[in-house]
Amino acid sequence: MKDIIIGSAKSEPGKLTYGSIDGIELPTGIIEKIPVIIAQGVKEGPTFFLTANVHGYELTGIAVIHELMTEELAQELKGTLVAIPTLNPSAFRRYHHKAVYDDRDPNRLFPEGMFADKKETEEDKEYPKHYEHITNKIYSYFEQYADYHIDFHNHSLLSIPYSILDRLFYHEDSQKEEAEDLLKKQEEMVKSFGMLVCAEFPANKYLKMKLHRSVSGSAFNSLRIPAFTAELGENLYLVPEVISGSVKGTRNVLRWAGMLDGPNEKITEFPVPKPKERLRRFDHPRVKRSGIVRFIVKPGDYVKKGQPVAKFTDIHGRPLDDGYIRTEYDGYMVALQTRMTVFPNDTIAEMGIKDEYPLIAKTPSK
């Protein structure tokens, strides 16, 4: 078996081993350590990375990793599973979205990779700062060892578990075939997780939102590793059924990767929508005026164009417009906003609607 050394963690065939990466040294002398667990099998196979909690209040992935990483698993595995239960310990300690020492979204701070501006001069070069010191280290371990990767998140308090299929970019026409092969693998991998799949926002918006610098977006696009984000339902607290279903899903992906034997385990802990067509994430409906919102649908519901999804009133409780906010699209209510107040142009939910955009796109020329 090949040696996998990540920070102070070193693989041992048939065993679970532990250690940590020195993430960043803080000015006060504390070293922010990133915990690492390695389960190595006794038979050869791929190296699979699981990461969680880049957003500090998204907790489910930590529990999934704790449930999954056992001595028994190490005995059964072909290859090596590397788990990082929290990518962002300072955010986890205070149940916050972001690191204490960096106010930017940590899931947009992985390296530019293939999207980096090659014409950059010494003068306009952007140096990695704060949390980017950690993301650069994690990325370099992906680069050195990873064949596959899943990053665990939680969307919001009112959301269903689902997985995200990233858009894939290529530079030259000669790379299109390679991209199509990679995408095919990626689609199989995401499907094997067994939850609802939504494609990411369309290519232009994907780049605008810097999703190519998310944990899995950078692994997938820049390192060309099959990698996806799993949104495991409610954030801020733990739902035992979601943990148990997600452990099954992850084990199913390991089976797909040829790392575990045995039949797939069906997720029975929560309903999984089965759309007839590919869906994409879409922020909708959008309100035209300020008001008070009360949902009349639940996360996971299927809605038809024109159907009311929420009551819409003023602060006195009197109806605004016809008293309802309606969807203009058919689709699934994947996540509902938890706020009651809205301002003009706010969206109140994320829906999964029919995806008519290509999954593969050429990078725009600069």
When the beta carbons of 55 and 280 are compared against Zn ion, the nearer one is: 55
Q: Cβ of residue 58: shortest distance to Zn ion, in angstroms?
A: 5
Residue span binding Zn ion (CB under 5 A) among the ranges 18-26, 39-47, 147-155, 338-346? 147-155
Residue 210 makes contact with Zn ion by CB under 5 A: no
Selected binder of Zn ion within 41, 55, 244, 333 (CB under 5 A): 55
When the beta carbons of 32 and 58 are compared against Zn ion, the nearer one is: 58
Residue 361: Cβ-neighbour burial (10 angstroms; 0-12, 13-18, 19+) = middle
Residue span binding Zn ion (CB under 5 A) among the ranges 53-61, 183-191, 243-251, 264-272? 53-61
When the beta carbons of 35 and 61 are compared against Zn ion, the nearer one is: 61
Which uninterrupted H or E stretch holds 249? helix 240-256
Give the position of tokens 């409610």. Answer: 234
CB 148 within 8 A of CB 46: yes
Q: Cβ of residue 138: shortest distance to Zn ion, in angstroms?
A: 15
When the beta carbons of 135 and 327 are compared against Zn ion, the nearer one is: 135
User: What one-letter code names the amino acid at 314?
Assistant: D
Q: Cβ of residue 365: shortest distance to Zn ion, in angstroms?
A: 31
Give the position of tokens 């993430």. Answer: 23
Give the position of tokens 């016809």. Answer: 322
When the beta carbons of 108 and 354 are compared against Zn ion, the nearer one is: 108
Q: Cβ of residue 141: shortest distance to Zn ion, in angstroms?
A: 20
Residue span binding Zn ion (CB under 5 A) among the ranges 56-64, 144-152, 275-283, 355-363? 56-64
Cα separations (Å) of 345 from 170, 208, 287? 34, 19, 5
Q: Cβ of residue 163: shortest distance to Zn ion, in angstroms?
A: 13
Closest CA to 253 of 7, 50, 44, 29: 50
When the beta carbons of 100 and 361 are compared against Zn ion, the nearer one is: 100
Residue 34, SS3 per DSSP: strand
Angle of helix 240-256 versus helix 176-192 axis, rounded to 10: 140
Q: Cβ of residue 53: shortest distance to Zn ion, in angstroms?
A: 9
Residue span binding Zn ion (CB under 5 A) among the ranges 12-20, 50-58, 72-80, 157-165? 50-58
Residue span binding Zn ion (CB under 5 A) among the ranges 8-16, 52-60, 143-151, 194-202? 52-60
CB 51 within 8 A of CB 58: no
Residue number, nearest CB to Zn ion: 153
Alpha-carbon span 166 to 223, nearest angstrom: 13
Residue 61, SS3 per DSSP: helix
Alpha-carbon span 42 to 248, nearest angstrom: 22
Residue 153 makes contact with Zn ion by CB under 5 A: yes
Q: Cβ of residue 153: shortest distance to Zn ion, in angstroms?
A: 3
Residue span binding Zn ion (CB under 5 A) among the ranges 47-55, 68-76, 289-297, 334-342? 47-55
How many residues line the site for Zn ion (CB under 5 A)? 3
Return the ∠ at Cα 164 (arms to 163 and 168), rounded to 5°. Answer: 150
Alpha-carbon span 181 to 357, nearest angstrom: 18
Query: Which residues sit at the interface with Zn ion, rule CB under 5 A?
Result: 55, 58, 153
